[in-house]
A and B are shown apart, each in its own frame.
Chain A
Amino acid sequence: MKKDNPADKPTVFIVDDDEPVRDSLKMLMRSVGLSAETFSGAAEFLEAYDPDRPGCLVLDIRMPGMSGMELQEKLNEVHAILPIIFITGHGDVPMAVKAIQYGAADFIQKPFRDQDLLDRINKAIEQDASNRAQLLETRDIEERLSNLTPREKEVLELIVDGRPNKVIAADLEVSQRTVEIHRARVMDKMRASSLAHLVRMVMRLRNPG
């Protein structure tokens, strides 16, 4: 488990080639108590990108060098979950559609009202926090699962498939008493409070998200 450190506080990462825009966005974030970091280009952001830092990315579409959409593709390649809010002065409908289809959280056209952007940023940060919490929980379940012996894993699969102990015993050619012992260990190691809880945890890994 990671300790609390300042990096766990959400940060609004601002990527825009226009310095006055960057500065005014940063001021806007600070004015409502959000911490912000600015980058003058996509490459510069990519260099500093740390998947463990929560928050959201406010990204200009049109920039010299790597465009905002190209940065989105690069982040998708590394399975980044940081939500992206695109900002553009020259957007059109197909561009907005493509951005969201490729996983952007939002797309906003200039000029916008400050409050409109802040609302979208807060929504994205909330979404990011909930995604990360889910991810953490999934990892936690995976870790518990890794502590099971191969035999216990077999029993777990059969339990989750809804087989009663008697059937599992016959399947694995062991006594029912042995299955009961395995079952108790599985429940204990998975820290499952009930059969339903156990099934939920395993299903979570089978269909993530």
Chain B
Amino acid sequence: MDLQTEYLQIGPAVCVIESDPNMNIQLDKLLAYLDSPVLHYLSAEIFLAECEGIEVGCILADGDQLGAQGAQFIEELSQRGLSGATIIIARHANIDDAVKALQRGVADYIEIPQPDRLLLAKIRQVISRGACLSGPRPH
């Protein structure tokens, strides 16, 4: 068994979609409090290309980075049955983006920065709803 496969045996993964190294460091510190494997993806495209077959507990995606592609990304997630496990975090949060994301079925949309405790609670809440097995790319 290779290392990644072994790592994923721990339980459903938290998938972080974030390209900013500083944000990744901060999120890693936070996610170390959870008993979940953490997988990093630098972009939504990379995640969508690689996520098939992964047991997903929660997806944390940077809303600022998604920008205008956010809507299409959430649509793809929902076709794979993953939107309900998704939390969008955004520094430049705004009401319209939040409403659109939730209408398309994401679990939460959070303006950051937030206290670690609060962000952890929201992530735990999503994980506790059960894992989603990431389906194949829809045609």
Query: Which residues of A sit under 8 angstroms from B102, Cβ to Cβ?
Result: 96-97, 100-101
Q: Which residues of A contact B110 (CB under 8 A)?
A: 97
Task: Check if A114 is an interface residue, CB within 8 A of chain B.
Answer: no
Q: Does B31 contact A (CB under 8 A)?
A: no
Task: Tell me if A93 and B94 are in contact (CB < 8 A).
Answer: yes
With a cutoff of 8 Å between Cβ atoms, the chain B residues found around residue A106 in the complex are 99, 103
- With known contacts A100-B102, A101-B102, A107–B95 Cβ distance under 8 A: yes
Contact yes or no, B103 A93, CB < 8 A: no
Interface positions of A from 50 to 109, Cβ below 8 Å from B = 91-94, 96-97, 100-101, 105-107, 109
Per the CB 8 Å criterion, the residue count for chain B at the interface is 12
**Contact call A107/B99, Cβ cutoff below 8 A:** yes
Assembly CA distance A83 to B115 (angstroms): 33
* B102, closest chain A residue (CB): A100
Give complex CA distance A107, B100 in Å. Answer: 9
Give the CA-CA distance A100 to B102 in the complex, in Å. 7
A interface size (C-beta, 8 A): 12
Complex alpha-carbon distance, A93 and B111, angstroms: 7
**Distance between Cα atoms of A105 and B99 in the complex (Å):** 9
B94: nearest residue on chain A (CB-CB)?
A: A93
A96 touches B103 (CB 8 A): no
A97 to B97: give the CA distance in the assembly, Å. 10
- Is the pair A97, B108 in contact by a Cβ cutoff of 8 Å? yes
Chain B residue nearest in CB terms to A107: B99
B54 CB contacts on chain A under 8 angstroms: none
A106-B98 Cα distance, complex, nearest whole Å: 11
Residues 94-123 of B, flagged 1 when their CB comes within 8 A of A and 0 if not, give 111011001100001111000000000000
Residue with the greatest number of chain A CB neighbours at <10 A, chosen from B93, B94, B98, B111: B98
Task: Give Cα A106–Cα B109 distance, bound, in whole angstroms.
Answer: 15
Interchain nearest-CB distance for B99 vs A (Å): 5
Minimal Cβ-Cβ distance residue in B for A88: B95
- Distance of A105 Cα from B103 Cα, bound (Å): 7
Binary interface encoding of chain A residues 95-134 relative to chain B, with 1 for a CB under 8 A from any of its CBs, else 0: 0110011000111010000000000000000000000000
Min CB–CB distance B70 → chain A (angstroms): 15
Nearest-neighbour CB distance to chain B for A34, whole angstroms, equals 22
In the bound assembly, the distance between CA atoms of A97 and B110 in angstroms comes to: 8
Q: 8 smallest A-B Cβ distances: which pairs?
A: A100-B102, A96-B95, A93-B93, A93-B111, A107-B99, A96-B98, A93-B98, A97-B109
Point out residues on A near B: beta carbons under 8 Å.
Answer: 91-94, 96-97, 100-101, 105-107, 109
Can you name 24 A-B pairs with beta carbons within 8 Å?
A91-B95, A93-B93, A93-B94, A93-B95, A93-B109, A93-B111, A94-B111, A96-B95, A96-B99, A96-B102, A97-B98, A97-B108, A97-B109, A97-B110, A100-B99, A100-B102, A100-B103, A101-B102, A105-B103, A106-B99, A106-B103, A107-B99, A109-B95, A109-B96
